Amino acid sequence: MKPKVLILRTAGTNCDVETDAAFQFAGAETALVHIQNLISDKINLTDYQILAIPGGFSYGDDIAAGILLAVEMKHKLTNALNQFVADGKLIIGICNGFQVLVRTGLLPGADTSEMAQRATLAMNTSAKFECRWIDLETQESPCVFTKGIKAHVYLPVAHAEGRFTAPADVLSELETNNQVVFRYAESGYPSNPNGSDADIAGICDTTGRIFGLMPHPERFLMKWNHPRWTRLVETQNTDSEEGDGLVIFKNAVNYVKANL
């Protein structure tokens, strides 16, 4: 039985097809679903084991990146989301999806059932859209999606509001609970493309089942996605055709298979 993934989309979402492909490559059954089909109960979230919120510019990022989709989810899908989380299912938010998860309060999460925003993804310190490939360092964390992943990962970023920032107590909590999943490999611009606190590029909740990150793993599924793939073949002497991002989706699928 293939795990079922719901890939949420709405106006302005533009990485849904890539995310769909990523989960299909990983062995899942996927469905691209507009949020109105969940709100109207035409589609039931309980029928799926993984919820993916892809990148893009949901609702044009009016007011702030991801905020309108977050408000819509928080106030129209509260019960469905709470039940999904309570059932131990998986959620991943990429770029705009990470912004949504933070603004709903699903990340970094809390000990209460009430969804409250405790961090944000603010405008890049460069005050401009940043689009480049960057080096990441994998951190020790309970994150289901990064189990066994390489210590150093190379993924592209493309965002204007990617600066993860939070009050000191929340940052301390993230460190204490090992909730930081990825950091930019070096501090300072341009290695840290947005000026995130503590060079944070991705976090999970305390269970490791909810994961958000600014870089785009769905854009590096195969070696040919790498901007210098021909040189890598020559220098790394590897026959692997997988890109650094694919394992993130495989881990999610394998986790569900093991827990069905």
Are 241 and 222 within 8 A, CB to CB? yes
Are 54 and 31 within 8 A, CB to CB? no
- Helices (H), ranges, the chain: 16-25, 35-39, 67-76, 78-86, 96-104, 168-176, 229-236, 246-259
Beta strands 4-9; 29-34: pairing state = parallel
**Alpha carbon distance 108, 120 (integer Å):** 10
Give catalytic residues, as residue numbers. 95, 216, 218
Between the alpha carbon of residue 23 and those of residues 32, 78, 92, 250, the distances in Å are 11, 25, 11, 7
Are 245 and 218 within 8 A, CB to CB? yes
Are 235 and 64 within 8 A, CB to CB? no
Beta strands 50-53; 4-9: pairing state = parallel
**Alpha carbon distance 40, 195 (integer Å):** 39
